[in-house]
Amino acid sequence: MLSKFKLQVKICSAVFCLVIATNGSAQELTYSGAIKAGNDSGIIPEWSGGLTSAPGGWDKKQGYKNPFNAEKPQFVINRSNYSEYVEKLSPGQIALLKGNSQFSMPVYKTHRTTVLPSDVIKTVKTETGKAKIVNHKIVGRIKSHIPFPSPTSGEEAIYNYLLRYVGEGFEREYAWFPVRPGKKYYKVGFKDRVVYADSMKPSQIGNGLNYAFYANFTAPSTLVGTVYLVHEFVDTVENPRAAWIYNAGARRVRRAPDLAYDNIADGTEGMRTTDQYFAYNGATDRYDWKLIGRKEMFVPYNTYDLTNKNLKYEDILGEGTVNAKFMRYEMHRVWVVEATLKSTSKHIYGKRVFYMDEDSWSILGEDCYDTRGNLWRVGIHGLIQIYDKAVPWPNLLVWHDLNNGNYLAAHLDNEVKKPIRFGIKDRWTNFQPDALRRRGTR
């Protein structure tokens, strides 16, 4: 763990800040608050601007081509040797390595590929130091996607994730799979269209919207015809999430106040809660948040092989875990954030620990504990850089249940012909409850 210092910003450029620690040492930070320099061992390189161009011969219809496909694993961490690397592993990773004979971690050379568009970076720099958290509410932020580049609390860190840049809107079709021992699984097909406030017309909605989205199932048949509509606000305390659901069988739209927190998500066999959509979402008020600090860890990163359209889902889904052949782990610095359930609140998770990439603020892993303090579920979340749109993107989210050996693999689109679209714009009138029925009957 890196030492904790009270830091003062002395000099800032368009991308970097020079930060002076109380012991007199200086560290140059990127716009995201990441340490620009590599680590002492040289395994983590210096951040040099991220990945801004596609590899040669890239065809978007075939998925996002791996720019590092010529590389081979430097070593593989597995059940027999994990004890040599425990300082760079999370408790959840260790539990998987110890208890799941199929789980292994091929470790590759580290590449710091994350970068955001220049105008987004400019806004982050302009607003740095202006935001704060008051009673779980963020104030002082206008439109920055990283309001707290140098967080002083766990809640500030998680707000960096909640407000992260994902292309101002996206539309995609993908699948997730609940997988039981014996490699027994079924496909859940899903489409979602997410539009952020800046891309919504009229541009001044005036209600503090963060984003709105539609989502509907394409499989299995028992879920087809179910459509969700969600309005997610920046202020989740005074302006809680508004949600509606349309069911083709009932042919009516109803409010869905339970589409939040630990409500079990449809089609997940109970392996993912509603607030684990994209690893974490929604209000922060049920937990006390603690910033543990930075840590060097082996995390899933640049997992481009999983986007290959030549792969079938059956190639990726293995016994007990995702096929390690298509996984890639690298050593990166992450922020460790601990969320402990308040004594006055209810949730199936008594404690959650998030491992957040210092360059992108993406959640790359999560350890979920039950209310008795036992490690229960482990999240392993891959990340790629969308090099044609400057978007850090989670292309794989996996949750392992340590109690029964089940796992849930999500965000897979290998058998979907239409590629994901970013920069989606829409009108506010199209995200109203009276439009929900029309979408459900399409």
Structural domain boundaries of the chain?
Answer: 120-440
Residue 11 confidence (pLDDT): 43
Structure token pair of residue 362: 């993406």
Residue 198 confidence (pLDDT): 87
Distance, CA of 105 to CA of 77 (rounded, Å): 5
CB crowding 1-29: b at 16 or more within 10 Å, else e: eeeeeebeeeeeeebebebeeeeeeeebb
Residue-wise DSSP of 198-252: GGEESS---S-EEEEEEEEEEESTTTTTEEEEEEEES-TTTS--EEEEEETTTTE
Distance, CA of 227 to CA of 364 (rounded, Å): 28
Structure token pair of residue 355: 């491992």
Residues facing residue 297 across a β-bridge:
332
Distance, CA of 12 to CA of 279 (rounded, Å): 32
Distance, CA of 101 to CA of 314 (rounded, Å): 19
Structure token pair of residue 115: 């970068």
Residue with the larger pLDDT of the pair 363 and 208: 363
Structure token pair of residue 69: 């496909």
CATH of 120-440, one of 3.30.70.920, 2.50.20.10, 3.30.470.20, 3.60.15.10: 2.50.20.10
The angle subtended at Cα 148 by Cα 338 and Cα 134, nearest 5°, is 75
- Report helix, strand or coil for 6: coil
Q: What is the residue type of 159? A: Y
Distance, CA of 426 to CA of 196 (rounded, Å): 9
* Range with lowest mean pLDDT among 21-25, 54-58, 306-310: 21-25
Computed on alpha carbons and rounded to an integer, the radius of gyration of the chain in Å comes to 21
Count other C-beta atoms under 10 Å from residue 284's C-beta.
21
Kindly report, residue by residue over 358-414, the tens digit of the pLDDT: 999 999 999 999 999 999 999 999 999 999 999 999 999 999 999 999 999 999 999
The H or E element spanning position 26 is strand 26-29
DSSP label at residue 419: P
Report the chain's mean pLDDT, rounded to a whole number. 92
Name the residue with tokens 């459509």.
227
Distance, CA of 410 to CA of 183 (rounded, Å): 15
Kindly report, residue by residue over 38-84, the tens digit of the pLDDT: 999 999 999 999 999 999 999 999 999 999 999 999 999 999 999 99
Q: If you count DSSP H runs as helices and E runs as strands, how many of each does the chain have, helices first?
A: 5, 24
Using alpha carbons, select from 54, 105, 110 the residue that is nearest to residue 82: 105
Phi, psi dihedral angles at 11 (to 5 degrees): -135, 130
